[in-house]
Amino acid sequence: MRNLLHDMNPSVKFGVVTVSMLAVAFFFNPWTPLLFWVSVLALQIALSRINWKIWLLFMLPFTLGAFGYLWTTVIFSAETGGTVIWSFAGLDVTDAQWTTALSLSFRVMAFSTLSLMFAFTTDPVKFIMSLMQQLKLSPKLAYGIMVGYQFLPVMKDEFIQIQQAHRLRGADTEKHWWQRLFSMRRVIIPMLAGAVRKAERSAFAMEARGFTGEARTAFYRPVQVGRTDFLLAGVFMLLLVGSCVGGVILSAP
């Protein structure tokens, strides 16, 4: 049971997540995103094995962002009608504003939870393989992305190396974060130059080993779509429709 979400076909999962997000974006009542958020969370607790400590760490900045949404929407809401529920520092907050503000904040929370569900239960390599096999992504692009992905640790080493080289030559160390932001150029140009050279070398190596980038039908590691994928997609859609309908009913005056 607890590996169902991990084993779900990445392309199907990707489709489900995208459709859910686009659908929830149509609703401006607070209940729909709240219901959907809670149900996705419940599903994730039941059907996956993830490290919830790391999950919380990832959620933290988005919770802050949701809070920002809450108060900006209260102040800059398009709707100013409705009855005033409370006043604060000369600012009247009406129930209509409060409802939209809550809705947009819950939306941020629901979207982040849904995204983290995808991120925590999907193997990146399998995701690309599935995009190539199920969604007919061109192998040239798919393997191009894979090359980039596999270079990540190398890039990290290179980043440290460039920093060390700067320090070795006695480049100024920045005290403030904005100085560090502007000195990003010193790091990013060598990084990109390195990327260009790596791209050339690896493309040459791939072609030398007979990679043509032609579309193919047989794969070394096939990624399949099975019955459980349809079942899980069905469960998600049910939750989505349930949240939408439930939200509209609950928010009806």
Q: Please, which of residues 130-159 interact with another protein by CB under 8 A?
A: 131, 138, 140-141, 144-145, 147-149, 151-152, 155
Q: CA 4 to CA 234: how far, in whole Å?
A: 14
Dist. CA 31–CA 243, nearest whole Å: 8
Exactly one of 51, 76, 218, 222 binds another protein (CB under 8 A); that residue is 76
Q: Give Cβ neighbours of residue 243 (< 8 Å, ≥ 6 apart).
A: 24, 31, 32, 33, 35, 36, 39
Binding flags for another protein, 159-188, as an x/- string (CB under 8 A): -------------------------xx--x
- Of the candidates 154, 155, 132, which has an alpha carbon nearest to the alpha carbon of residue 143? 132
* CB of 7 or CB of 158, closer to another protein: 158
Q: For the CB of residue 181, give the shortest distance to another protein in the complex, in Å.
A: 9
Binding mask 199-238 for another protein (x = CB under 8 A): xx-xxx-xx---x-x-------------------------
Structure tokens given for 170? 């006695």
Hey, which residues between 18 and 57 contact another protein (CB under 8 A)?
A: 18, 21-22, 25, 28
State the Cα–Cα distance between residues 117 and 55, nearest whole angstrom.
Answer: 9
Is 1 or 183 the residue whose CB approaches another protein more closely? 183
CB of 173: closest distance to another protein in angstroms? 19
Q: Which is nearer to another protein, 47 or 142 (by Cβ)?
A: 142
In sequence order, which residues have a C-beta less than 8 Å from that of residue 195 and are 6 or more positions away? 151, 155
**Judged by CB under 8 A, which of 165, 189, 231, 250 binds another protein?**
189
Query: Residue 151 contacts by C-beta under 8 Å, 6 or more apart in sequence?
Result: 195, 198, 202
Which one of 114-122, 162-170, 220-228, 245-253 is the stretch in contact with another protein (CB under 8 A)? 114-122
Distance of CA 41 to the CA centre of its chain: 15
Instruction: Give min distance, CB of 238 to another protein, in A.
Output: 20
Which residue lies nearer to another protein by CB, 23 or 225?
A: 23
Tokens of 114: 């849904």
Which one of the spans 14-22, 83-91, 164-172, 238-246 is the region binding another protein (CB under 8 A)?
Answer: 14-22
Binds another protein (CB under 8 A): choice among 12, 34, 43, 128:
128
Q: Are 87 and 97 in contact (CB under 8 A)?
A: no
| Assigned token pair, 13 | 């999962």
Q: Which residues, other chains included, contact 51 with Cβ-Cβ below 8 Å and sequence gap of 6+?
A: 120
Give the one residue of 8, 34, 40, 116 binding another protein; rule: CB under 8 A: 116
- Indicate the burial class of 75 (C-beta count within 10 angstroms; 0-12, 13-18, 19 or more): exposed
